Amino acid sequence: MDKKYRILVADTEPTVRTAIVNYFTEMNFECLGVETESEVINLVQKSEPDLIILALELNGIDLLRHLKSAKPNTEVILTSSGANVPDIVRAMKMGAYNVMVKPVQLEELRDQTYRILEIVTTPPQKTRQDRMDDKKNGLIARLMKSTEPSMVELFSVAKVVAASDSTIFITGESGTGKELMSSFIHLNSPRRNESMVPVNCGAIPENLIESELFGHVKGAFTGAIANRTGRLKAADSGTLFLDEVSELPLHMQVKLLRALQEKRFEPVGASRSEESDFRIIAATNRDIEKEVEEGRFREDLYYRLNVIPLHMPALRNHRGDIMPLVEYFIERFNNEKGLEVEGIEDEVKDRLRTYAWPGNIRELENVIERTVILKRFGKLTVNDLPKKLRGEGNLVLTDQGFVDMPEDGIDLNLEVARLEERLIKLALDRTNGNKNQAARLLHLNRTTLVEKNKETRTGSLTENTTTLQ
């Protein structure tokens, strides 16, 4: 390092302060520790540090606001003794480079410092696993550049909590990227060099799930011909990814809760318990609070898992990311399959941007894969799109609320009935199924609403009409 960079460490805890100062001083930084707010303000005026590592407890939010207006070019990393999501979001929005949850890992702090100060070190040789990890990180990185408010908020939290050891609960509709997010968190955590062990709780047959999670000893049941290590043990020192966790049967939820609380569990048929140290990331595409309310998911396990909630927004709620994703997928499928699809007609862009994408990013990926393979080369036109996107037989409701008429026309009665059905469903959803309130929202009397509701339920509309509950 030719230049001597200045780092200011502001923390009320002497042990933390000294550890960080010593660490950076040894690496040839000019590093100074202070313990009060006024010392920070004074020193920043005098010495213009390149980076400030500031404890949130030291009135960090107010101090950050002051620093960002007085010295906009000074980068700030906040450290916090707990993962308080609203504070993290506020700090990131106010321009903090990152918020790190204590105990701060010094190597992590060093890596972030290098990134901030753009200090270049020789990277170690990459392995195949590294390259796969880079790819996953790259996918998420594309969305990290998103300017859509829901994504900005999601990533300001994800980046921070990844570095902590806290339990994370990822929710979101199918295909929104929950699994990719869990990899991102693992790969950006201090456990990144250990494995992330996935358990798809919905895919394992009920009678095997206990052995799958906790392992079994030889002879524990018919077919147990040898000892077997369970996934909890396999995740020792790493991350355990409990995918589709809401699908666990209730009796397994009890056992899992106990194992998570005690970090100990008994393999099936074993007389002694085992220990394992893992970080948990859980995910579900169900409305988990409803599952709890209706008794299908244990409340105590829910609270145990829902320490830091991350919600992956539906694609229709961050439409600004659709075109960057489309361009990425076209390039990827061109490369993978040796094709030369180039460019997209404006009309196609409109269709892609305004379609509802009920299957989210996965559906978008599939649509582009199919379209690129069939097209092979040239510019994509509306006729290359699958039927659902061409809008044939369907009305296309655009963002502006305009209705687009397909070339071969529509069946007016059918479309009006569909619209009516959608509005009734919306009113019922909004009132949690209360028919009196829903009728009031629609300026109908209750009997008319019930009648109309019945009509749609008897299937008098088309086959793809959703029925009302």
Ligand X SMILES: Nc1ncnc2c1ncn2[C@@H]1O[C@H](COP(=O)(O)OP(=O)(O)OP(=O)(O)O)[C@@H](O)[C@H]1O
What does the binding site for ligand X look like in residue numbers (CB under 6 A)?
A: 139-140, 142-143, 172, 174-180, 285, 325, 361-362, 365
Nearer to ligand X, 150 or 394 (CB): 150
- Out of ligand X, Mg ion, none, what residue 365 binds, judged by CB under 5 to 8 A for its kind, is ligand X
Residue matched to tokens 């169900």: 286
Least separation, in Å, of the C-beta of 158 and Mg ion? 16
DSSP letters for 338-404: T-EEEEE-HHHHHHHHHS--TTHHHHHHHHHHHHHHHH-EEEE-GGGS-HHHHTTTS-EE-TTS-EE
The residue number with the shortest CB distance to Mg ion is: 179
Least separation, in Å, of the C-beta of 399 and ligand X? 22
Alpha-carbon distance values, 3 to 23, 45, 118, 336 (Å) = 18, 20, 12, 44
At CA 31, angle to CA 30 and CA 35, rounded to 5? 155
- Out of ligand X, Mg ion, none, what residue 176 binds, judged by CB under 5 to 8 A for its kind, is ligand X
Nearer to ligand X, 33 or 177 (CB): 177
Neighbours of 2 (CB within 10 A): 3
Which of 49, 85, 80, 84 has the alpha carbon at shortest distance from 67?
49
Least separation, in Å, of the C-beta of 246 and Mg ion? 12
- Out of ligand X, Mg ion, none, what residue 339 binds, judged by CB under 5 to 8 A for its kind, is none
Nearer to ligand X, 145 or 454 (CB): 145
- Out of ligand X, Mg ion, none, what residue 78 binds, judged by CB under 5 to 8 A for its kind, is none
Nearer to Mg ion, 80 or 167 (CB): 167
Nearer to ligand X, 152 or 414 (CB): 152
- Out of Mg ion, ligand X, none, what residue 143 binds, judged by CB under 5 to 8 A for its kind, is ligand X
- Out of ligand X, Mg ion, none, what residue 55 binds, judged by CB under 5 to 8 A for its kind, is none
Nearer to ligand X, 179 or 212 (CB): 179
- Please state, in angstroms and rounded to a whole number, the distance separating the CA atoms of residues 404 and 219: 66
Least separation, in Å, of the C-beta of 174 and Mg ion? 7
Residue matched to tokens 């609380």: 261
Least separation, in Å, of the C-beta of 168 and ligand X? 14
Which of 409, 314, 390 has the alpha carbon at shortest distance from 345?
390
Q: Given CA atoms 210, 211, 216, 221 in this order, what sign does their dihedral have?
A: positive
Least separation, in Å, of the C-beta of 186 and ligand X? 13
- Please state, in angstroms and rounded to a whole number, the distance separating the CA atoms of residues 314 and 358: 8
- Please state, in angstroms and rounded to a whole number, the distance separating the CA atoms of residues 237 and 120: 30
Least separation, in Å, of the C-beta of 319 and ligand X? 14
- Out of ligand X, Mg ion, none, what residue 285 binds, judged by CB under 5 to 8 A for its kind, is ligand X
Residues 6+ apart with CB under 8 A from 121: 114
Binding stretches for Mg ion (CB under 5 A): 178-179
Nearer to ligand X, 172 or 238 (CB): 172
Q: What is the CA radius of gyration of the chain?
A: 27
